[in-house]
A and B are shown apart, each in its own frame.
Chain A
Amino acid sequence: MLKIVIDRDKCTGLGMCEAESPGLFEVADNGSLVILADHPSDEQRAEAEAACESCPTEALSLVAE
């Protein structure tokens, strides 16, 4: 199973991930990133990968659990 892992020291809340996958990521009003579902479904896997890939500060990764 894949899990989305965030490095909060690196995240700047730009929301590239949210643009790729609004079902999994959301930048809150205070600028912090909220992960809406830690474990992307099989259907969400491609967009989760694109979201992690798109992060300009390399704060997101997908790890196998």
Chain B
Amino acid sequence: MIDAPTVNDVATMTDDPFGPEVLEDPLPFHQRLREAGPVVFLSRYRIYGMGRYAEVLEALRNWQGFESGAGVGLSNFRTEKPWRPPSLLLEADPPRHDAPRRVLAALLSPRRLRGLRAAWRQAAEELVDRVLAAGPEFDAVPALAEAFPLRVFPDAVGLGEEGREHLLPYGNFLFNTFGPGNHLVTDAQAEAPAHASWVNGQCRREVLREGGFGAQIWAAADRGELTPEQAPLVVRSLLSAGVDTTVHGLAAVLHALATHPDQWRRLRDEPLLARVAFDEAVRWGAPVQTFFRTATTDVRIGDTVIGDGEKILMFLGSANRDPRRWPEPDRFDLSRDPSGHVGFGFGIHQCVGQHVARLEAESLLHALAARVRTIEPAAPGRRQHNNTLSGWATLPVRVTC
């Protein structure tokens, strides 16, 4: 938070980027944000914001100038105490960030995940068969977007069966806390400690099933790649960042396909497009909308100087639809090459679990494409408001087989 913009000629916007209007539909705000300039001053929170692709990419790339260690939310850890012990990955900088990151990257690498492919394909087929057997109309959020990650991911981590219902509300609360203390945070404040305490309890070595991601993180600590103090926090990163994000990513691709029948037909004809479809949906829908950085020194962007210790909000969803980078950015189009989108971030903090998310999406989309001829909205979906995530609470769909 700052008293006044360091440079006077930066455009000022009074909108609340965490208010209900923007969370319901961020696109009109994003457009004004991009047009206002490469950097704007968001007077409500006295922070800087950027919505154009080039500047967002540069800020993500410049971890030396824009740190994560002071928090990737509105709260500045230089002056405010974090509500939980900070993440060793998301809320850390090199060199401390690197060992935990390396352990997770190796564990979640494409080669290591190949061992899960057959089982996840089968799980997706069983789930889709069960959903379709119940009738042609269903809510795709609980039936598919939530059910599939919850079916495969906790097992892969090696969690016990008890208490898994804490996972989604924990993640939802965590991603809300990156924004201001609005009603999205305060409404859930009373129940949050119970979710956090369950999640922390699952990070202990003795409760994690042998062979799962969690046990392998502890094995990395045995090999000296992590300290025993770091291991539970690295497990926590999996449980924090690996569930809600994927649910919203799957909801984004299901929503996109249900509302673009021509693109659904393409996917049915060419199931190998499942990967492109998911990445294009992550570009187009941007399940993770925003993250903050903090300037480590005075950093110049265009004509604006972001002063040491000042917060800057990167609008990933806006960058993903910047017409300066993307031709016809609002089109969901499987013939596009979506690579380069910042929906998973960029630079040293780019989503370490993205191969997991892609495998989940690919498994589910393959199972659907092999069984479902048409998918369309049965009623308008309802948005789920979150200070960081863009998602759907409901997506009623009708299918034919």
How many chain-A residues does the 8 Å CB contact rule pick out?
A: 20
Contact indicator per residue, chain A 11-24, by CB within 8 Å of chain B (1) or not (0): 01111101100100
Contact indicator per residue, chain B 237-268, by CB within 8 Å of chain A (1) or not (0): 00000000000000000000000000000000
Asked if B193 lies at the interface with its beta carbon under 8 angstroms from chain A, I say no
Per the 8 Å Cβ criterion, residues 105-163 of B in contact with A are 105-106, 109-112
CB nearest neighbor in B for A18: B110
In the complex, identify which listed stretch (B19-27, B44-52, B317-325, B348-356) lies at the interface while the others stay far away: B348-356
Question: Are A27 and B348 within 8 A (Cβ)?
Answer: no
How many chain-B residues does the 8 Å CB contact rule pick out?
A: 22
Q: Is the interface of B mostly helix, strand, loop or mixed?
A: helix
Question: Are A28 and B355 within 8 A (Cβ)?
Answer: no
Task: Provide the residues of chain B in CB contact with A12, threshold 8 Å.
Answer: 98, 101-102, 105, 348
Q: Is the interface of A mostly helix, strand, loop or mixed?
A: loop
CB nearest neighbor in A for B108: A15
Task: Provide the residues of chain B in CB contact with A19, threshold 8 Å.
Answer: 110, 355, 358
Question: A12-B348, A53-B340 are known contacts; what are 19 more A-B pairs with Cβ within 8 Å?
Answer: A12-B101, A12-B102, A13-B102, A13-B106, A13-B109, A14-B350, A15-B109, A16-B350, A18-B110, A22-B110, A26-B111, A27-B105, A27-B109, A27-B111, A30-B225, A31-B105, A31-B225, A53-B339, A57-B348
Q: Which B residues form the contact surface with A (CB < 8 A)? A: 61, 98, 101-103, 105-106, 109-112, 225, 339-340, 345-348, 350, 352, 355, 358
